[in-house]
């Protein structure tokens, strides 16, 4: 599998399903070669790659725990060896766990922060070392950092760190023509959001924005496509993508 010199190459972590899969498919439709990084579900990752190829795009799957610096470095090395470089990195891998702060399991807190904070740091570290000029680094945040919903303290705290990492890295990459942003979805119809919620809760959250519906993975992928491509003047921002729930 080869690319032309002009073709951009994207790495999408968490790319086997949900928002990550929609992003992988959208970037491929934009003409980018996509490396789909998955934690453990090889079948879903292979399905994503197959869908991209069937649509005429280029893609390959790679396994890595985003919090494992050696595994992530190996993915970047493999992608560069196979496709010639890296232009876009979308860190969509994440974990959600909900419970009141007073009763939150601290072992779960450690696992959540390992994926959402350490994982973001590790992926961004490799991206900062390898993304070519004209590229983009995009991290997945959440609108819950502003909404402050009960039971979301641990998750929101981890994503607040994502916002901070993104802003600081954007400034550290001064002069390299690389943008760094966080994209913060509102409630989006993915397994990560829907699991464990009853219909009344889902309906209530869907109506919290003026458009009165849940977001779709494609809604989020549309914005990431812009930030990863022609939206070069968007840099060091947390972009809220939630139908008007919060600004």
Cα–Cα distance for residue pair 232/113, rounded to 1 Å: 30
Alpha-carbon distance of 21 to 44, in angstroms, equals 9
Task: Round to whole Å and give the CA distance between 58 and 64.
Answer: 20
Instruction: Confirm whether 152 is a catalytic residue.
Output: no
Identify whether the C-beta of residue 213 lies closer than 8 Å to the C-beta of residue 158.
Answer: no
Catalytically annotated residue among 38, 62, 152, 155: 155
Query: E strand or H helix at 184, and its extent?
Result: strand 179-185
Instruction: Specify the DSSP class assigned to residue 57.
Output: -
Q: Are the C-beta atoms of residues 34 and 24 closer than 8 Å to each other?
A: yes
Q: Kind and range of the H or E element at 92?
A: none
Specify the pairing of strand 86-91 against strand 59-63: unpaired
Give the relative orientation of helices 106-113 and 153-172 as an angle to the nearest 10 degrees: 20
The token duo for 179 is 């943008």
Q: In 3D, which of 75, 105, 125 has the Cα closest to residue 113?
A: 105
The gap from C-alpha 119 to its chain's centroid, in whole angstroms, comes to: 11
Catalytic residues: 155
């Amino acid at each position: 599998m080869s690319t032309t010199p002009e073709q951009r190459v994207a790495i999408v972590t968490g790319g086997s399903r949900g928002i990550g899969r929609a992003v992988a498919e959208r970037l491929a439709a934009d003409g980018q070669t996509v490396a789909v990084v998955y934690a453990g579900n090889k079948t879903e990752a292979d399905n994503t790659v197959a869908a991209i190829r069937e649509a005429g795009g280029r893609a390959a799957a790679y396994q890595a725990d985003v919090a494992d610096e050696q595994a992530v470095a190996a993915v970047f090395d493999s992608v560069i060896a196979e496709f010639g470089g890296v232009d876009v990195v979308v860190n969509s891998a994440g974990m959600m766990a909900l419970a009141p702060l007073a009763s939150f399991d601290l072992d779960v807190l450690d696992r959540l922060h390992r994926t959402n904070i350490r994982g973001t740091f590790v992926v961004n570290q490799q991206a900062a070392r390898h993304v070519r000029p004209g590229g983009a680094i995009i991290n997945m945040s959440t609108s819950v950092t502003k909404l402050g919903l009960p039971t979301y303290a641990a998750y929101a705290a981890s994503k607040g760190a994502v916002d901070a990492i993104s802003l600081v890295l954007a400034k550290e990459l001064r002069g390299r023509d690389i943008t760094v942003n966080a994209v913060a979805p509102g409630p989006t119809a993915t397994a990560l959001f829907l699991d464990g919620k009853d219909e009344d809760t889902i309906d209530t959250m869907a109506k919290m924005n003026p458009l009165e519906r849940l977001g779709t993975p494609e809604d989020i992928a549309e914005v990431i496509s812009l930030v990863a491509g022609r939206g070069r003047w968007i840099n060091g921002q947390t972009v809220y993508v939630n139908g008007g729930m919060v600004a």
